[in-house]
Structure 1
């Protein structure tokens, strides 16, 4: 005859519940620890320094000269092609010379800080422009004349995300003052090596204006840089511009070049 368990024998059901609770607790604690590790890693990232490093990959901090070919597409079909020579000194002073088409050859943009003027052979006085005004296709004046995200925006880390299979930091950039090219930017930068991967550009209203992708990384001016930038109209599918940087070289550019007097002579 099988004897019943004594009254003080531990109930196996209770034991199983205790073990399950312990396992669940351990899992929750491990998950929380992992989350804390991710948060700690993100907190350790200086968002401003990250944007500065990505800026230095896009373009040299030193004075340089580069040639840019812009091909505009409408409804997916290629349209006009334009060429520009960009001369930049420290990301604050820039000259953009129109090389083609021939009808616009001789036009020049001069940027000093966030002040921008256009010089035209047929007009005696320079005309003041904004960085956000369209230069050609989907390209704003500031897209060529000023590429200083770190100087124009305050950066905040928003997390990480996969971009074409690559882990990327997500950065929310908010205009640091008036006169910048875009009101805000969402920016993706590679976790592995700080390469800029893509960006979204927004109006003051919060409306998405354009998206861009940085690709075709090659050696230019002593560093691996994106040599192709695709800027797409967020409002009209099939309208986009492709910027291709064919040459780039470090070059000593004197301060006196970046004046209205010099541009008039040029």
Structure 2
């Protein structure tokens, strides 16, 4: 075991102990171990970046199992387009169900995520179909944007600079995917340096091409903490194509693991 490896594992163990969050600790350990395997020579962990990403993740969503409803309105050149509503049931950032509530014609469709394995269930199809996290769900929203918003578990971060956004100091971080199974190959992430809130993000393809941007807005108290309740996603390739995600409600719920199976999903209404 190299000195770098020992340093990495010691840091992760200490961070996990201070957070008391098994899901986050597991995600961070996997992210850092994967980054260690992929990089030669091994790079030291950017401890400040890891802490900032974990903190922002906790602000975006509860540590506990939770339920939220999301309205997604898409538009092109200012003209209204697709409008959809989803119910998301999440357990520990590893297991998620995304149920389509509207439009009525698609009601009954559901996504099931276990780890990074994703399936779609449709009433008209007898067997679930395997999907990619990167595939488009609606408008500018990918499957992974709703099903797995776990930056701490999916990316290896490092601080690359500082910026001022809306008069507030922000850390600027590069997030590199730990493997090709995550939603985006790279994310550039701005986080408020004072309160840890996410400010904006840029999402990139493996080729380095900018795909879209996201702004985190309208911070309000939901599920016991002040969180962003409005996300604005803009297509970087086709100007004027925008999707706005509004979180209508969010509540901590006891969601047993048995719910997150292909067999149990058929019982959900």
Q: 1:146 aligns with which of 124, 145, 148?
A: 148
Q: Secondary structure at the match of 1:142?
A: helix
Distance 1:45 1:97 in 2: 36
User: Aligned-residue CA RMSD in angstroms?
Assistant: 1.2
Gaps spanning 5+ residues in structure 1: where?
1-42
Q: Secondary structure at the match of 1:265?
A: coil
Q: Secondary structure at the match of 2:266?
A: helix
Q: 2:188 aligns with which of 176, 186, 189?
A: 186
- The residue number in structure 2 matching 1:226 is 228
User: Do residues 235 (structure 1) and 237 (structure 2) align?
Assistant: yes
Distance 2:206 2:179 in 1: 12
- The residue number in structure 2 matching 1:167 is 169
Distance 2:161 2:191 in 1: 11
- The residue number in structure 2 matching 1:65 is 67
Distance 2:203 2:70 in 1: 21
Q: Is the 8 A contact 2:82 2:138 kept in 1?
A: no
**Which runs of structure 2 are paired with 1:97-136 in the superposition (5 Å)?**
97-136=99-138
Distance 2:80 2:203 in 1: 23
Question: How far does residue 44 in structure 1 lie from its aligned partner after superposition?
Answer: 8.8
Question: How far does residue 80 in structure 1 lie from its aligned partner after superposition?
Answer: 2.0
Q: Is the 8 A contact 2:191 2:198 kept in 1?
A: yes
Q: Secondary structure at the match of 2:127?
A: coil
User: Do residues 54 (structure 1) and 56 (structure 2) align?
Assistant: yes
Question: How far does residue 45 in structure 1 lie from its aligned partner after superposition?
Answer: 5.8
- The residue number in structure 2 matching 1:252 is 254
Distance 1:238 1:180 in 2: 26
- The residue number in structure 2 matching 1:261 is 263
Pick closer, same or farther for the CA change 1:86–1:44 going to 2, 3 Å: closer
TM-score (norm 2): 0.82
Question: How far does residue 79 in structure 1 lie from its aligned partner after superposition?
Answer: 1.4
Larger Rg: 1
Question: How far does residue 81 in structure 1 lie from its aligned partner after superposition?
Answer: 1.1
Distance 1:50 1:184 in 2: 17
- The residue number in structure 1 matching 2:85 is 83
Pick closer, same or farther for the CA change 1:225–1:136 going to 2, 3 Å: same
Distance 2:161 2:151 in 1: 19
Q: Secondary structure at the match of 2:228?
A: strand
Q: Is the 8 A contact 2:90 2:97 kept in 1?
A: yes
